[in-house]
Structure 1
Amino acid sequence: MQFYLDGYRPGDPTVAEAHPSVAARPDGLPADCDVLIVGCGPAGLVLAAQLAAFPEIRTVLVDRRDGPLTVGQADGVACRTVEMFQAFGLANRLIDEAYQVNEVCFWQPDPADPSRITRVGRVDDVEEGISEMPHVIVNQARMLAYLLDYLERSAARLRPFYGMRVTGVRRDGDGVVVDVGDTTIRAKYVVGCDGARSAVRAAMGRELTGDAMNVAWGVMDVLAVTDFPDIRLKAAVQSAEHGSVLIIPREGGFLVRLYIELDGTAGVTPESLAAAANRILHPYTIDVRGVGWWSVYEIGQRLCDRFDDGEAGSPRMFIAGDACHTHSAKAGQGMNVSMADAWNLGWKLAAVLRGEARPELLHTYSAERQRVAAELIDFDRKFAGMFSARPADSGEEFRRYFVTQGRFTAGVATRYAPSMITADTAYQSLAEGFPVGMRFHSAPVVRLADAKPVHLGHAARADGVWRLYLFGDRGDTLQRVAASVASKDIDILAVFQQGHRELAVDEMPAALLPRKGRLGLIDYEKMFCPDPRGGDIFDLRGIDRDAGCMVVVRPDQYVAHVLPLTDVDELGVFLAGIRVDTTVQMETRPSTGRHDY
């Protein structure tokens, strides 16, 4: 973490200095704004967090609820989502509080006595090496609390307006007019993060389409005493006659979530859910001593065919999260995919609003995320169906499917198709471990200036900045390339093949020691070397040692291009297809007061 860029300030360095616009902000809802976010769930707050990196953008959040969520709802946080929270500086807080999922157990009827269940398998929850981050469990209310706190500490000092119901949304020229309670707001862009009954989606004339599976499930967070041996492990339990239960240990060491298959939704109570769980778990018992939250829902997979209103021109209205895709909770993907929607959209809105990117960039949001949601729907339909099926028909297949789909559930399988922001794979052989269109897979390195072991991916913050990673040796080639791309308005980082004790900081080019802020301070955190203890990054990510390469990474940490180390002209052509003006220097951007790269 970097701070004190614009001068020393005592106190908590994670609290940014308020942007001047904060003092002039009205107490109530404004008459106009740049981005109006409807809904303060996971998607809405991640979108707000990304836009908060640009406090000059006027962002307004409204939510129909009376206040922040306090209990219940989603709880699974995929590895990729923890990576995203690292970019916001929130990963350590999340990991420290959460339950970490390490293994998954599978239980099915005992062949000798089908009335009893027995453990039939136990596997690692996450494939070794797919992420430096774990799969964790923490309730959605805490995830939202982290984000709300982040907004409060940001230079934008964003706070949601609760108790505000949207009653009308209509496109009006180059903007959108929204009726919120007794107030009318004109926004340049409106994003509906307002759930399955989205008012914004309705205004766009779009529908969620799909079929319900006619399967009901109860869910409850309980404090219980049990003799079931795997109560502190994630466990999928399928009984012979009484349905299935999914056991998810929760944060704190005592709380457990139970997803319980039901015959129907009529007359369900916490007591009836506990009784159903006991029937499934036989011969084990579970004595529920306290219920923190419970609910009942029916599984269904539904999807919108488009996530914006831009068929005939530049989009002005967007939808994210449950407003455009709904599915079961079994695979733990809903909250994760919703937050990924928001991050994908947030940096794009910021780039267009700030005049840095072509408006066509906004079309890539629906194109990229609708495809991801469609893949999720297909996965969830099969996963939920197999879990609800009789174990004799699908038990072994279900375990195999869980293992083979591990990268998908970890959130690291997404691959975006070629577009204006994702190139083809002509030079993929130069860096096989950084597939174009997939998230930048971090690896251990040593920072040259201070010899600190770090993860290379953690140099990227949620600041809307494109990054260029140069991989090579200390020879003149890499240094010339670094100097020649310094004018491309892109954050440049270099990874050398030599060990950190073989290189001298004072021999590095100025492009890798950029001066920043009003004091012209030197940023020493742009140069890295292999970490002999964590594995050589050139070997781990299949980087061509002889040729070297450039890896272009989008603000949401997805690899946009892999290029030969010396092909600066093609890099310029690629960026010119996105940028309005690639000659503007990064130093002209207003400081956010935190994480300035």
Structure 2
Amino acid sequence: MAVNEATADESLGGSLRDANSASSVRSSTSGSGTASASGASSDSGVASGSGAAISGEDDRPTRTIRAKYVVGCDGARSGVRRSMGRQLQGDQAFHAWGVMDVLTVTDFPDVRMKCAIQSEAGSILLIPREGGHLARFYVDLGEVAADDAGRIRQTTIHDTIARANAILSPYTLEVKDVAWYSVYEVGHRLCDRFDDGVDADGSEREPRVFIAGDACHTHSAKAGQGMNVSMQDGFNLGWKLGAVLTGQSPHELLATYSAERQVVAQNLIDYDKQWSSLMAKKTAELTDPDEMTRFYVDQAEFLYGFRTQYEPSMITGTAEHQALAAGFPIGKRFKSYPVARVADANFVQLGHHHRADGRWRLYAFADASGEALARFAAEVPDVVARFTPAGADVDSVFDVKLVLQDAWQDVDLGTIPPIFLPRTGSLGLVDYEKVYAAIAPRDCQPAAPKMAVGTDPDADIFDAREVSRDGAMVLVRPDMYVAAVLPLDAVGELEGFVRAAFAEHR
């Protein structure tokens, strides 16, 4: 829940944690633009244009939270989703899995290796856990009858261990301790919206209530994708709520949450259907013994979260100038690369200096002659100032960074424009850590930062990320997704783009 100008004491937190029933959302009668919420629950409710409310009845005193927005992260049986009048839609795979985190003694030689085990008795997905001994086993419990009515969920840990031994045979598995155990049925379900931003007549309005994670998408538990995607739901929504609540951005920004994340959730479900189907196959059903390995490798970009690409919107531009920095695809996550920080000659990963602090990053990749950079440095400070609150640090909204083509030894910081060396804080101290020089990884030795396998040791960031030697600017959102690629001296285009996403202050 995003709370605006409100306090919540520890007793309230306790009552909310203790509540066992689902919350509901209903319209506030206040015209103040806030919402009220109580620790109890109900089964009905809506949100109004002025705010939202969580409320209900039980035998405890009613407590009220004044809030503008409500976020439901209350799982697959979400009461918040139900109160919004939305539901999960999809299908059941009629297949069940037992999941156990266990300490074991086994003669299976690959127990500390992530692996998919398939035999005529079924399948196991084995994922070693932390500490050197704990391991997670996803154990195939087989198909579930349509009239099972949940009986499969009564499968005991002892039955699951026996099933695991049958699949592993002739190897054996002796379980010494069970840290956690559960049974789940594979289901693929998705909510058509992740907010309440539409009225009964279909007209769009400002969303006040949001859902995230299992409250809006469910799938199998294998490969860890549910947690990864759910955390990205929260990250995507969190920075947008922060921007709106602080007055940095208009409320229209919030509509992009559902538009962006619902597509990602659908892609996850499409992937999971294929993965679950492969995992459920017996060895005789596999057309190729390497089928699963090949699928896993082919889908690696998706598994690691790099395949997400947001469509054009008020915060994601078009591909008109994509060729200027082809290695930074618009709408996809900013791909890091080694550079040399000029001030201290330290070799760093450029993307690792993008903190999750709600700021936008504007990377200026300098042209060889420096002429376009000079025009950029002369014009961009006015744009930055226009969207920065009075009295705030100059880099509090836009963190402007410079990447030069020169060797770091040849850069004179005394010639660098002030926008890249801002004075910040109460003492007005200079921030020297925004100026970088392109460098080939081979030249970083022996102090090179970690690099991806296959990195060309002779390619600098301009080569590796296909950035034009005539210069370019790359605008990156607070969630580290590329918002726009523009010519370095196209400051007017930059201003036109950001005006939709920001409130002007000057």
Confirm or deny a common fold (TM above 0.5): yes
- Equivalent residue in structure 2 for 1:252, among 131, 135, 139: 131
Answer 1 or 2: higher relative contact order, Cα 8 Å, separation at least 6.
Answer: 1
> How far apart are the structure 2 equivalents of 1:420 and 1:29?
41
Report SS of the residue matched to 1:400.
helix
Q: CA deviation at 1:539?
A: 1.4
Distance 1:502 1:491, change over 3 A: same
Alignment of 1:497-576 (within 5 A): 497-533=405-441, 535-545=459-469, 547-576=470-499
Report SS of the residue matched to 1:485.
helix
The answer to whether the 8 A contact 1:327-1:377 is kept is yes
Report SS of the residue matched to 1:301.
strand
Task: Report the residue type matching 1:537 in the other structure.
Answer: I
Q: CA deviation at 1:266?
A: 5.6
Which residue number corresponds to residue 194 of structure 1?
Answer: 74
Q: CA deviation at 1:216?
A: 0.7
> How far apart are the structure 2 equivalents of 1:566 and 1:437?
22
The answer to whether the 8 A contact 2:49-2:206 is kept is no
Alignment of 1:59-208 (within 5 A): 64=17, 164=39, 166-167=41-42, 169-179=45-55, 182-208=62-88
> How far apart are the structure 2 equivalents of 1:465 and 1:441?
18
Q: CA deviation at 1:419?
A: 0.8
Distance 1:216 1:26, change over 3 A: closer
- Equivalent residue in structure 1 for 2:184, among 273, 292, 297: 297
Residues 115-173 of structure 1: CA distance to partner in whole angstroms, max 9, x if unpaired? xxxxxxxxxxxxxxxxxxxxxxxxxxxxxxxxxxxxxxxxxxxxxxxx95543654244
Report SS of the residue matched to 2:426.
coil
The answer to whether the 8 A contact 1:218-1:294 is kept is yes
Which residue number corresponds to residue 228 of structure 2?
Answer: 336
Which residue number corresponds to residue 216 of structure 2?
Answer: 324
Q: CA deviation at 1:473?
A: 4.3
The answer to whether the 8 A contact 1:482-1:492 is kept is no
Structure 1: state its 5+ residue gaps.
1-20, 31-59, 68-162, 585-597
Structure 2: state its 5+ residue gaps.
21-37, 145-151, 199-203, 385-397, 442-447, 449-458
Flag the structure with larger Rg. Answer: 2
Residues 471-510 of structure 1: CA distance to partner in whole angstroms, max 9, x if unpaired? 1247243143133212333210011111111101121110
Distance 1:407 1:266, change over 3 A: closer
Q: CA deviation at 1:376?
A: 0.6
Distance 1:462 1:254, change over 3 A: same
The answer to whether the 8 A contact 2:39-2:55 is kept is no
Q: CA deviation at 1:324?
A: 0.2
Task: Report the residue type matching 1:351 in the other structure.
Answer: A
- Equivalent residue in structure 1 for 2:329, among 431, 435, 441: 435
- Equivalent residue in structure 2 for 1:272, among 146, 159, 176: 159
The answer to whether the 8 A contact 1:355-1:580 is kept is yes
> How far apart are the structure 1 equivalents of 2:323 and 2:284?
45
Task: Report the residue type matching 2:355 in the other structure.
Answer: R
Q: CA deviation at 1:200?
A: 1.1
Which residue number corresponds to residue 27 of structure 1?
Answer: 9
Alignment of 1:194-593 (within 5 A): 194-240=74-120, 242-263=121-142, 265=152, 267-311=154-198, 312-394=204-286, 395-473=289-367, 475-489=370-384, 490-533=398-441, 535-545=459-469, 547-581=470-504, 583=505
> How far apart are the structure 1 equivalents of 2:109 and 2:330?
44
Task: Report the residue type matching 1:538 in the other structure.
Answer: F
Please, which moves more after superposition, 204-213 or 468-477?
A: 468-477
> How far apart are the structure 2 equivalents of 1:403 and 1:212?
27
TM-score (normalised: structure 1): 0.70
Residues 415-437 of structure 1: CA distance to partner in whole angstroms, max 9, x if unpaired? 00111111110111111110000
Distance 1:349 1:396, change over 3 A: same
Residues 284-328 of structure 1: CA distance to partner in whole angstroms, max 9, x if unpaired? 111111111111111101000011111231000010000000000
Report % sequence identity: 52
Consecutive aligned runs of 4 or more in structure 1 exceeding 3 Å deviation: 60-67, 163-170
Distance 1:544 1:430, change over 3 A: same
Report SS of the residue matched to 1:332.
helix
> How far apart are the structure 2 equivalents of 1:274 and 1:246?
14
The answer to whether the 8 A contact 1:423-1:561 is kept is yes
Q: CA deviation at 1:352?
A: 1.3
Residues 208-236 of structure 1: CA distance to partner in whole angstroms, max 9, x if unpaired? 01111011100111111111111111010
Q: CA deviation at 1:467?
A: 1.1
Residues 224-283 of structure 1: CA distance to partner in whole angstroms, max 9, x if unpaired? 11111111110101111x110000000111111000010362652222221111111111
Task: Report the residue type matching 1:399 in the other structure.
Answer: T
Distance 1:216 1:555, change over 3 A: same
TM-score (normalised: structure 2): 0.82
Q: CA deviation at 1:65?
A: 5.3
Report SS of the residue matched to 2:466.
coil
Please, which moves more after superposition, 472-481 or 273-282?
A: 472-481
Report SS of the residue matched to 2:478.
coil
The answer to whether the 8 A contact 2:49-2:208 is kept is no
Residues 176-207 of structure 1: CA distance to partner in whole angstroms, max 9, x if unpaired? 12126632334210010111111111111000
The answer to whether the 8 A contact 2:98-2:182 is kept is yes
Task: Report the residue type matching 1:396 in the other structure.
Answer: D
> How far apart are the structure 2 equivalents of 1:339 and 1:267?
30
Task: Report the residue type matching 1:202 in the other structure.
Answer: R
Q: CA deviation at 1:61?
A: 10
Report SS of the residue matched to 1:245.
strand
Q: CA deviation at 1:398?
A: 2.4
> How far apart are the structure 1 equivalents of 2:299 and 2:210?
30
The answer to whether the 8 A contact 1:178-1:186 is kept is no
Q: CA deviation at 1:66?
A: 8.1
> How far apart are the structure 2 equivalents of 1:364 and 1:514?
32
Task: Report the residue type matching 1:316 in the other structure.
Answer: R
The answer to whether the 8 A contact 1:191-1:317 is kept is yes
Distance 1:530 1:280, change over 3 A: same
Distance 1:26 1:385, change over 3 A: closer
> How far apart are the structure 2 equivalents of 1:550 and 1:65?
50
> How far apart are the structure 2 equivalents of 1:193 and 1:61?
17
Task: Report the residue type matching 1:542 in the other structure.
Answer: E
Q: CA deviation at 1:470?
A: 0.6
> How far apart are the structure 2 equivalents of 1:453 and 1:65?
49
Which residue number corresponds to residue 110 of structure 1?
Answer: none
The answer to whether the 8 A contact 2:8-2:65 is kept is no
Task: Report the residue type matching 1:275 in the other structure.
Answer: A
Distance 1:322 1:248, change over 3 A: same
